[in-house]
Amino acid sequence: MSNFASGKYAKAISDRSGLAFPYTEMRREWNGSLVHESEFEQKHPQLEPKIQKGDAQGLQHARPARAEPATANLLNINPFDSGTAGTTTISVFEPSHNRATSDVVRFRGVNESFSCYPTIGQIPISRFNLNTGHAITKVDDDNYTYEANDDLTTFLNANCESGSTTLYIDMDGVLTSYYQTLASLNNMTDWFGLTSAVQSATIAANANFFQNLTKLPGADAIIAAGVAANGSYKILTTDTGNVSLNNQKSAWIAANVSPQPTQILFAPGDKSSYGNALSVLVDDSSRYINQFTGAGGAGYKYWQSPGSKKTGGGLVSAGPVSLVA
């Protein structure tokens, strides 16, 4: 096949205008038309639009901000302090706790509980590690307190049934300032030295001892919670072995307690005979509580501090009631 001529002297007719132009100045458009270079038009972009992807909105390995789940904080060894004698609040040391009054804090891992205290100062470990936690009161950025007997109402509601159960409430140390008065008469700032011998000697030396006792700040609330849960209650107090002193106790109850108990009972050093499956006792003595529960009853150990002492152990944590695993 022969070669084509260069066409340098040739003319060509434009498919657009029909005019003649030098052949070498002609251009082929996208649609096949042969036109002069002065008439040439590029193919319009809209005839072959490019596929446009959406703008990228997120990173492939994003780490967005989130609300971190609550966790428990490991506390220092023995973070609990019983405070001054007579208080019913426990102080907790948690540096930079970032908590506020009314927050509910659950403690875990408590394995020591004022074990060397007098019987009135002992608290069941389960009460520290309460599943429902404790409502706190902030003291400062490193300390807060909670009420040691804050689960009493829950206990009463769970174990009392009006018309079926018998509720017994102790008098000395639960309703009255029994230990405060003994300590004051012996010039003591705490109750560690209040042995049985000291107590007996002090009462013997003060003829109107029980008559002059004052009512504890929480006494009315205990009675009210008991009546609300059980409908009625009985006083079960230690028998002094002295008719006159027992009469003083009865007179004190008549003058200071409302509503009145259905009966006042005097137990001679042992309360096990009152314990059974349908009986409940609120008492400050671990010995009496153990006797009562050993006989089948339900017992609540009411607590007052005999004096400042630290406890808790070395594996205590503080955090929310529920934790994310």
CATH code at position 269: 3.40.50.1000
Is there a single domain that holds both residue 219 and residue 103?
Answer: no
Q: Report if residue 4 sits inside a domain.
A: no
Q: Report if residue 222 sits inside a domain.
A: yes
**133 near 104, Cβ under 8 Å?**
yes
Domain that holds residue 91: 73-148+307-325
Q: Is the pLDDT of residue 246 over 70?
A: yes
Is there a single domain that holds both residue 186 and residue 248?
Answer: yes
Number of domains the chain is built from: 3
Is there a single domain that holds both residue 172 and residue 187?
Answer: yes
CATH of the domain at 90: 2.40.30.20
pLDDT of residue 60: 82
Q: Report if residue 198 sits inside a domain.
A: yes
Q: Report if residue 273 sits inside a domain.
A: yes
The CA R_g of the chain, rounded to the nearest whole Å, is 43
Q: Report if residue 45 sits inside a domain.
A: no
The pTM of the whole model exceeds 0.95: no
In which residue are the tokens 């205990």 written? 222
Is there a single domain that holds both residue 143 and residue 156?
Answer: no
Is there a single domain that holds both residue 178 and residue 98?
Answer: no
pLDDT of residue 1: 56
Q: Report if residue 294 sits inside a domain.
A: yes
Helix (H) or strand (E) holding 26: strand 26-28
DSSP letter for 215, please.
B
Among the residue ranges 5-14, 55-64, 112-121, 292-301, the one predicted with the least confidence is 112-121
- Judge residue 216's burial from the number of C-beta atoms within 10 Å of its C-beta, 0-12 exposed, 13-18 middle, 19 or more buried: buried
Q: Is the pLDDT of residue 48 over 90?
A: no
Q: Report if residue 217 sits inside a domain.
A: yes
Is there a single domain that holds both residue 88 and residue 157?
Answer: no
Q: Is the pLDDT of residue 116 over 70?
A: no
Average pLDDT of the chain is 93
Q: Report if residue 57 sits inside a domain.
A: no
